[in-house]
Amino acid sequence: MKQSFFKALAAIIMMTNWIGCTTSDKQQTLYEGIVFSDARMERGVKQAAALWTEQDGSAADFREFVEHNYARTEEERNTLFESLSRMMEKMNESADMLKVELLKPTQLMNAGEPTDIDWIMSGYDPSAHMMDDLFANKVAFITILNFPFYTLEEKNTLGEHWTRREWAEARLGDVFTSRIPAKVKTAESEALAAAENYIADYNICMDRLRTEDGRQIFPDGMKLLSHWNLRDELKVNYSNQEKQEMIYQVMQRIVRQEIPLSVINNAGPEWYPYSNRVVNGESTREPDTRYQKILDIFHTMQQVDAYCPNMPTAIIRNFEGDIEIPAAEVDSLFCQLLSSEQVKTVAAEIQTRLGRELRPYDIWYDGFKARSNMDEEALSAETRKRFPDPITYEKKIASMLTMLGFQKENAEDIARHIVVEPARGSGHAWPCVGRNEPTRLRTRIASEGMDYKGYNIAVHEMGHNVEEVINLYRMDEYMLHGIPNTGFTETSAFLFQSRDLQLLGYGKQTMNRETVMDQFWGMYEIMGVSLVDMRMWQWLYAHPKANAAELREAVLAIAAEVWNTYYEPVLGEKDCVLLAIYSHMVNSPMYLPNYPIGHIIQFQLEQALADKEGREWAESYERWYRLGRLTPQQWMKQAVNGELSVQPILQKIQ
């Protein structure tokens, strides 16, 4: 028998401190004399009082507000919920559609060269004033009063007994937990946009690189974006270690900010990465721009901190608010795998296959995948022929979905909500947040067509798109649209990406030993990268007045420490800083942990899918992604009857 929501709440009320109920004496006077009819009303009143200011009215005004706006009957409450849910969707959708249009010149290749005004508008956030306006007209307070906020602990405990509507009401309660001024939101948006623009244009002209004896070893016209394309080029060159070593040198120069400024996105100078010498160009190093961009974002986050008393740091907001797994638990989860004996087992297998001592860049060893034994040029020839442009890829999405087991009508319905666009950067998925807009697949396609690397990335992004369509257009409650955290959308992307060869007609992926070792090694690599990102942010909060040079040295020290602890014993080279190369550290604060979380989830879901194929596979996938925005642990319990854990993959490798 299902326990009622408020009966469950009463059972733990004495053990839980409510976020938003710790108010000052001045705020407490706001609700003196109000008779609370139930626990929900008390919670809502106290949370509303915590955010009420003198500009909102007097104590008498507050009490009158409560009297007139608390929904005392289920009918009133349901009507209010439906109205607020509809309003949230339309406001989110309108702001998002405007943001998409403003970003087209800086994000899409077919929008022409961006002008100065385009770069300025790329940092504009159409929703920046939304929160201010909704507090000013009291809509935010009406929401808080009737649909209060519940902590992560409460969601995980009470959520065991919640109905879908109660979960949706709890998610509505997550919307107004802080009151951040528009100018602060705008500053944050501008800093993030500036970092994104910096990274989107960070290309290395590989044909201008030279060995110390003056040779060109990369083909004419090759231009690779850091870090994505550099990493992928390194992966495919296991038959040419000289190229791998040069890419490794380039990466280290970038991380250490030793790279000459003149060689970034510039096909003029010749660059000798080993000696860092430049011919026909300036040799002055890039200033600490990489680290200044991180600092700029950090300083805007500090401004936000002042308005989030219940989640007073970006770290807490990211892990307990967005990811909904405390940072300490994420750290512990990663370290379990990184310190496991299974690392040595898999490393020994790689060393045997390579027939040499392992090098640091072997964290990206790709030889367990089925495609590692295939001719990539032949694959690229095939993908270029199949996908000569974005429109062709878009037209073939429905047929690719049917190959995975989606029924034809269902596949066509999902595909019609996906738009494919040519990206300036490496590619990404732009989600839909309202049911009148599509989800967007942004990918890089050269004039001669989509090469295999681009195709592989496009299939990854398509996994995001399919998840986004299902958890919006197939969702029973708008306030539950989405997934528990970004790791779950990365899981969807991984599930699709791992089947890219299947979509080319090369057979179904199976969960064999090769697949398990491939997934394990992928976790091993990205978990260390994520730890560096997480510990960098801990360092920032411990040293809030640091400058860019000090941050650079701190990141190098953190990267070396993580490397020496978990990687040097198997990959060698003490104090290696390779783990700090990921561009996400610059333009996507603390996003990286979502990838290993996604890999962990993927493995657990793959185990559940092991005996399923075709229609049964697609139906399981859709059932999972219609669960919506539960907490991660609640989602996993309903999907696979278990919690997030690295133990399943550790047990598979002996």
Secondary structure (H, E, C), 146-201: HCCCCCHHHHHHHHHHCCHHHHHHHHHCCCCCCCCCHHHHHHHHHHHHHHHHHHHC
Q: What's the pLDDT band for 278 if we cut at 50, 70, 90?
A: very high
Q: What is the pLDDT of residue 375?
A: 84
For 361-405, the three-class secondary structure string (H helix, E strand, C coil) is: HHHHCCCCCHHHHCCHHHHHHHHHHHCCCHHHHHHHHHHHHHHHC
CA–CA separation, 398 and 568 (whole Å): 46
Are 456 and 497 a contacting pair, CB within 8 Å?
yes
Flag whether pLDDT at 3 surpasses 80: no
Flag whether pLDDT at 54 surpasses 70: yes
Picking from 114-118, 171-175, 280-284, 340-344, which range would have the lowest pLDDT averaged per residue?
A: 114-118
**Token couple for 591:** 């996003």
Flag whether pLDDT at 612 surpasses 90: no
CA–CA separation, 632 and 626 (whole Å): 14
Kindly report the average pLDDT of the chain as a whole number: 91
Task: State which amino acid sits at residue 337.
Answer: L
Q: What's the pLDDT band for 509 if we cut at 50, 70, 90?
A: low
Average pLDDT over residues 422-450: 89
Are 409 and 421 a contacting pair, CB within 8 Å?
no
Flag whether pLDDT at 397 surpasses 80: yes
Of 483 and 182, more confident:
483
Q: What is the pLDDT of residue 372?
A: 62
Picking from 5-14, 18-27, 240-249, 626-635, which range would have the lowest pLDDT averaged per residue?
A: 5-14
Closest CA to 363 of 596, 154, 588: 596
Average pLDDT over residues 477-487: 93
513-542 helix and 327-338 helix, angle to the nearest 10 degrees: 130
Flag whether pLDDT at 27 surpasses 90: no
Query: Can you give the pTM of this predicted structure?
Result: 0.82
Q: What's the pLDDT band for 125 if we cut at 50, 70, 90?
A: confident
Flag whether pLDDT at 10 surpasses 50: no
Under DSSP, is residue 210 helix (H, G, I), strand (E, B) or coil?
coil
Model confidence pLDDT, tens digit, residues 457-480: 999 999 999 999 999 999 999 999
- Going by their DSSP bridges, the two strands 427-430 and 439-443 should be labelled as antiparallel
Q: What is the pLDDT of residue 446?
A: 84
Flag whether pLDDT at 28 surpasses 90: no
Q: What is the pLDDT of residue 361?
A: 98
Could you give the maximum distance between any two Cα atoms of the chain, in Å?
Answer: 85
